[in-house]
């Protein structure tokens, strides 16, 4: 038998390694920006086109590379940052594996321009798929520029796997923010499709945070500073009353490196114990400095997780440092501990009429208008003018002859329908008797389904009604969120929002959908942004479905809301006019039926 084992050619090995290093455009952004920081740059510029799919370029004014180093930098395991294994325990640089440039060059078209301060001429290298295309001397400013074009051009499967531009841009913005927050002493700028997203001058930490997250952040910050033998903790948390329903403004840095650590996050959250209402999370920017030999950065390839020697003690120190600062800045007394938690639900916002959820009545909506569509999407047998109860045909409930005055054509919402057959149980379920037994409807999930289909209809079929605001509303968001809002603006307008100017960190809302109240605008938009960031599994899906889902989640009547008879009926009737009444937009059952036989059985044993 012949020998069959052979060494993989370098370019193949590089492509395989690239799979680990470069998951998406944002990974390239991270590696290039970190290289610029390691090169001691004081000014770093990021230029991105098409969410990084066509171009990612990082230009720095760092120390540059010699001609030989420029060529070597693309070799695998070529690094200037460690020489021996022990150096791993004394890392002061971001990189050390020496594989980023090699990996990136294996799966893209790369152009490197670099010059050291003491050189007259610099070098320009072009590499495509690990192959050196050209190397020449050029005149170029001191520092380095790496342009990465057509990422994954030679791995179509990976390229097709990339998500929508909105999502990939979001990842890039996150990466940029993390690096920029870790290094306030470096100036950063960021351009996307020729638009300036950020232009951050050197400053202190507070200035950097404010520059990234918007000027209103300033008044919210509570400083933290604690020095112990084990760790120095610096940074800020935001006052509890500014806690958000989203978790995306939680940043830990260890030795200037962004990390994720659920355990430390818990330490901070527990310091806020009793200061936050349910579903709210503290915002924090915490910088831990620990001896380099007390951590192991090597445990995760993309290096956002690290292992500490003495995590328990760290937990205790962190928790007490945060508690101490919250106390010292006297933020506790201004909190209203008696606040009724239900006031946090959109239907019960302070200052709004809390007992009457507004169920949208769309009298024009005719669920039967598209017969073809119906037969595919609606599993139950349907006829014109049928009663909703008969929709149970096809369920295992036989012989339903239950009659109701309510029919599609005779006014579902007729005021005179007094002999209602619905009850509300535990402010959670709507119960009704049907011939075959009993139906239990989950009010929250059912309303989600109703709203979801209404929003979808509004977005896809026609423009929704909009109510003009008497006084346009000015809302501030951080710049990254503004980028996102711009992308979904059209969809938002199709469901009834109306926007005026969208500035750097503010948007002007001129109108809103008829079925929401003004105080709901901010939470709704925040939730929507959060949902988009948290991402949709389907790749290049438009936001339409996600938006409808998010809005229905935000606006659906909550469990715990008392409903009067008319509201109960509205939900029942509208639910069974839905195309898919049996499940919520998130796939949960909206109702169950209990057969009379089953009830009988319970009495007979
Ligand atoms: P690592 O950062 O792990 O060393 P990279 O593949 O990212 O590996 O980079 C390889 C080497 O190229 C670095 O060690 C450094 O010497 C050099 N290099 C990369 N980017 C720059 C830059 N922007 N400025 C100067 N030198 C750089
Ligand atoms: Mg590197």
- For 486-526, the pLDDT digits (tens) are 888 887 888 888 898 888 888 999 888 877 888 888 888 88
* Residues 195, 210 within the same domain: no
Residue 603 has pLDDT above 80, yes or no: yes
* Residues 101, 210 within the same domain: no
From atom 20 of ligand 1, which residue's Cα is the shortest distance away? 35
* Residues 75, 115 within the same domain: yes
* Percentage of the chain modeled with pLDDT above 70: 81
Quote the ligand 2 centre to 208 CA distance (angstroms): 24
Beta strands at 284-289 and 250-254: parallel, antiparallel or unpaired: parallel
Residues in a beta bridge with 196: 191
Confidence of residue 136 (pLDDT cuts 50, 70, 90): very high
- For 216-239, the pLDDT digits (tens) are 888 889 999 999 888 999 999 998
Confidence of residue 341 (pLDDT cuts 50, 70, 90): very low
Per the CB < 8 A criterion, the answer to whether 97 and 18 are in contact is no
Q: Is residue 351 part of a domain?
A: no
Q: Is residue 146 part of a domain?
A: yes
pLDDT given for residue 56 in this prediction: 98
Helix (H) and strand (E) counts for the chain? 16, 22
- For 189-219, the pLDDT digits (tens) are 999 998 899 999 999 999 999 999 888 888 8
* Residues 134, 259 within the same domain: no
From the alpha carbon of 58, which atom of ligand 1 is closest? 23
Q: Is residue 177 part of a domain?
A: yes
Distance CA 210, CA 180 (A): 12
Quote the ligand 2 centre to 43 CA distance (angstroms): 17
* Residues 224, 193 within the same domain: no
What total number of domains does the chain contain?
A: 3
Quote the ligand 2 centre to 96 CA distance (angstroms): 7
Q: Is residue 402 part of a domain?
A: no
Residue 534 has pLDDT above 80, yes or no: no
* Residues 245, 296 within the same domain: yes
**32 Cβ inside 6 Å of ligand 1:** no
Confidence of residue 402 (pLDDT cuts 50, 70, 90): very low
Confidence of residue 302 (pLDDT cuts 50, 70, 90): low
* Residues 142, 60 within the same domain: yes
CA dihedral sign of residues 446, 448, 451, 455? negative
Per the CB < 8 A criterion, the answer to whether 190 and 48 are in contact is yes
521-534 and 544-555 helices, crossing angle to 10°: 130
Q: Is residue 372 part of a domain?
A: no
Quote the ligand 1 centre to 330 CA distance (angstroms): 46
* Residues 162, 311 within the same domain: no
pLDDT given for residue 491 in this prediction: 79
CATH number at residue 280: 3.30.230.10
Residue 90 has pLDDT above 90, yes or no: no
* Residues 169, 287 within the same domain: no
Range of the domain at 113: 10-200
Q: What is the mean pLDDT of the chain?
A: 79
Q: Of 174, 200, 226, which closes a domain?
A: 200
C-alpha pair distances (Å), 536 with each of 129, 238, 494, 546: 31, 29, 20, 7
* Residues 294, 432 within the same domain: no
**35 Cβ inside 6 Å of ligand 1:** yes
- For 98-132, the pLDDT digits (tens) are 889 999 999 999 999 999 999 999 999 999 999 99
């Amino acid at each position: 038998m012949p020998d069959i084992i052979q060494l993989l050619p370098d370019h193949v090995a590089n492509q395989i390694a690239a799979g680990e290093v470069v998951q998406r455009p944002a990974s390239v952004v991270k590696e290039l920006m970190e290289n610029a920081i390691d090169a001691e740059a004081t000014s770093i510029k990021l230029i991105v086109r098409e969410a990084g799919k066509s171009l990612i370029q990082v230009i720095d004014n760092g120390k540059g590379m010699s001609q030989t180093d420029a060529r070597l930098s693309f070799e695998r395991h070529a690094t200037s940052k460690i020489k021996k294994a022990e150096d791993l325990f004394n890392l002061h640089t971001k990189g050390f594996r020496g594989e980023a440039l090699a990996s990136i060059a294996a799966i893209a078209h790369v152009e490197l321009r670099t010059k050291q301060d003491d050189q007259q001429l610099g070098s320009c290298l072009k590499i495509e798929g690990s192959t050196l295309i050209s190397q020449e001397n050029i005149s170029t400013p001191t520092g380095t520029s790496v342009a990465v074009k057509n990422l994954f051009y030679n791995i179509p499967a990976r390229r097709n796997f990339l998500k929508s531009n909105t999502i990939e841009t979001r990842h890039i913005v996150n990466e940029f923010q993390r690096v920029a927050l870790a290094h306030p002493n470096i100036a950063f700028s960021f351009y996307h499709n020729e638009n300036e997203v950020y232009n951050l001058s050197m400053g202190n930490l507070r200035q950097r945070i404010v520059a990234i997250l918007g000027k209103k952040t300033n008044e919210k910050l509570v400083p933290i500073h604690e020095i112990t033998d084990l760790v120095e903790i610096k940074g800020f948390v935001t006052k509890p009353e500014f806690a958000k329903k989203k978790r995306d403004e939680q940043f830990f840095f260890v030795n200037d490196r962004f990390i994720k650590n659920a355990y430390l996050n818990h330490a901070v959250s527990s310091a806020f114990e009793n200061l936050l209402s349910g579903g709210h999370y503290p915002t924090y920017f915490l910088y831990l400095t620990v001896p380099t030999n007390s951590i192991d950065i090597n445990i995760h390839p993309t290096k956002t997780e690290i292992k500490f020697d003495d995590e328990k003690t760290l937990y205790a120190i962190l928790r007490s440092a945060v508690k101490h600062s919250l106390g010292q800045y006297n933020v506790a007394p201004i909190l209203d501990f008696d606040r009724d938690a239900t006031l946090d639900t959109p239907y019960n916002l302070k200052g709004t009429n809390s007992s009457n959820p507004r169920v949208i009545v769309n009298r024009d909506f005719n669920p039967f208008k598209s017969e073809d569509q119906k037969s595919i999407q609606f599993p139950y047998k349907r006829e014109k003018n049928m009663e909703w109860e008969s929709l149970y045909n096809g369920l295992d409930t036989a012989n339903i002859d239950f009659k109701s005055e309510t029919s599609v054509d005779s006014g579902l919402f007729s005021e005179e329908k007094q002999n209602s057959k619905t009850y509300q149980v535990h402010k959670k379920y709507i119960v009704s008797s049907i011939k075959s037994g009993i139906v239990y409807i989950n009010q929250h999930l059912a309303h989600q389904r109703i709203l979801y289909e209404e929003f979808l209809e509004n977005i896809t079929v026609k423009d929704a009604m909009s109510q003009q605001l008497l006084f346009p509303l000015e809302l501030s968001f951080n710049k990254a969120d503004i980028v996102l809002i711009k992308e979904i603006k059209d969809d938002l307008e199709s469901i009834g929002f109306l926007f005026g100017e969208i500035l750097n960190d503010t948007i002007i809302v001129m109108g809103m959908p008829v079925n929401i109240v003004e105080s709901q605008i901010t939470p709704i938009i925040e939730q929507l942004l959060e949902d988009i960031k948290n991402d949709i599994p389907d790749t290049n899906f438009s936001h339409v479905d996600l938006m409808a889902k998010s809005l229905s989640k935000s606006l659906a009547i909550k469990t715990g809301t008392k409903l009067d008879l008319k509201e109960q009926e509205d939900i029942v009737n509208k639910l069974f006019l839905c195309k898919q009444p049996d499940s919520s937009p998130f796939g949960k059952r909206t109702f169950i039926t209990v057969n009379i036989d089953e009830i009988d059985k319970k009495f007979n044993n």
